[in-house]
């Protein structure tokens, strides 16, 4: 067992829009990876961040209030993180299974 947690209703805390992001870095040097990870851990609304194999480097889940908040996240925050070459945004339209964050 890894502990207990409260499961909040995302709409009640103004985080009703679930966004998945794939992020590709400009390179894989320790400096670039370290800078990216230092910026991302404090990202507002970040639910999870996984370093992955394949065509992208990271998969993030971020819960935001609405499309306007998503725009702020993308253009004013993520686009300014050092070392990010590109990112792809996927907005969840429904959740078939979400065992840990939805009520």
Instruction: Look at residue 12 and tell me whether its pLDDT is greater than 70.
Output: no
Structural domain total, the chain: 1
Residues 6+ apart with CB under 8 A from 9: 103
pTM of the model: 0.84
Task: With respect to residue 11, please indicate whether it lies within any of the assigned structural domains.
Answer: no
Sign of CA dihedral 82, 85, 90, 96: negative
Mean pLDDT of 92-96: 89
The CATH number for 26's domain is 3.30.70.920
Between 103 and 68, residue with greater pLDDT: 68
State the Cα–Cα distance between residues 2 and 71, nearest whole angstrom: 34
Distance of CA 49 to the CA centre of its chain: 6
Q: Give 36-70 pLDDT, tens digit per residue.
A: 999 999 998 999 999 999 999 999 999 999 999 99
Mean pLDDT of 25-36: 96
Task: With respect to residue 101, please indicate whether it lies within any of the assigned structural domains.
Answer: no
Mean pLDDT of 11-19: 74
Task: With respect to residue 42, please indicate whether it lies within any of the assigned structural domains.
Answer: yes
Task: With respect to residue 71, please indicate whether it lies within any of the assigned structural domains.
Answer: yes
Structural domain of residue 77, as residue ranges?
A: 17-91
């Amino acid at each position: 067992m890894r502990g207990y947690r409260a499961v909040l209703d995302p709409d009640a805390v103004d985080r009703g829009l679930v966004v998945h992001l794939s992020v590709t870095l400009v390179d894989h040097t320790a400096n670039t990876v370290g800078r990216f990870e230092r910026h991302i851990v404090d990202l507002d609304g970040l639910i999870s961040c996984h370093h992955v194999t394949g065509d992208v480097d990271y998969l993030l889940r971020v819960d935001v209030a609405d499309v306007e908040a998503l725009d702020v996240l993308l253009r004013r925050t993520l686009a300014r993180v050092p070392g990010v070459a590109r990112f792809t945004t996927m907005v969840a339209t429904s959740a078939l299974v979400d065992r840990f964050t939805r009520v």
